[in-house]
Chain A
Amino acid sequence: DTVLTQSPGTLSLSPGERATLSCRARQTVNGNYLAWYQQKPGQAPRLLIYDASTRANGIPDRFSGSGSGTDFTLTISRLEPEDSAVYYCQRYGSSILYTFGQGTKLEIK
């Protein structure tokens, strides 16, 4: 069973603040094979973080990932209006294939 639970469901913050998004796995994520995506309306998901803490190409250093085992965090510092989106975590690894969380909606007031 590879269920991923994200919290909170919705997060409302102001520009300049820091957002902390959580992703909890029911079982240990081997190899920390955990990714984070950003999705804006009408667009495909965009890869932000892979291997729990490595930023994908072109991703600003305001985005950072951390965690291991079953608990992972995406932190977005110095929030900008363009960060408004839904954020998903994804587990991967050849033995369990792919699973996505249900998402956290981030609103920038």
Chain B
Amino acid sequence: QLVQSGADLKKPGASVKVSCRASGYDFTNYGISWVRQARGHGPEWMGWINTNNGDTKYAREFQGRVTMTRDTSTNTAYMELRGLTSDDTAVYYCAKDELIVGAVPFDHWGPGTLVTVSS
């Protein structure tokens, strides 16, 4: 199971940090990917974190603006996105991945966190 933090409203220029708490499996044996989806659009992969050693890989579109971290004591992954604009309004999902990025599709997803960016 993946449980995500609640919906958030942010002003342009602000940052948002979304959490994803895992249960029911060994957290550090699997990676976590983050995917976002704007209303009416297809999913967009943002990046991945190796929950075992903290290595990350970010999609080119988000490099320099996103940071993914994890806390192994609470089995929680985090995604922080900075410099928000209205284009960042979307549902943000975490998904169970492997410790090697890109190796498998996503068979377990969190329920999603709606982030709204508005002044």
A residues at B contact (CB < 8 Å): 35, 37, 44-47, 50, 56-57, 88, 90, 92-103
Contact = CB atoms under 8 A, between A and B. Distances in A.
A12 to B, nearest CB: 18
Interface of B is mostly: loop
Interface stretch (B11-19, B40-48, B67-75, B80-88): B40-48
B45 A97 contact: yes
A43 B33 CA distance: 17
Contacts of A50: 104-105
A35 B105 contact: yes
A108 B111 CA distance: 25
A104 to B, nearest CB: 10
Describe A's contact surface by its main secondary structure: loop
Interface of B: 33, 35, 41-45, 48, 57, 59, 93, 100-107, 109-112
Nearest to A42: B112
B102 A45 contact: no
A97 B84 CA distance: 24
Given A92-B103, A96-B102, A45 B59 contact: no
Given A45-B43, A98-B45, A93 B102 contact: yes
A100 B43 contact: yes
A99 B44 CA distance: 7
26 contacts: A44-B93, A44-B110, A44-B111, A44-B112, A45-B43, A47-B106, A56-B107, A57-B107, A92-B102, A92-B103, A93-B102, A93-B103, A94-B100, A94-B101, A94-B102, A95-B102, A96-B102, A97-B48, A97-B102, A98-B33, A98-B45, A100-B42, A100-B43, A100-B44, A101-B42, A102-B41
A100 B105 CA distance: 11
A88 B41 CA distance: 10
A97 B104 contact: no
A98 B111 contact: no
Nearest to B4: A44
A46 to B, nearest CB: 8
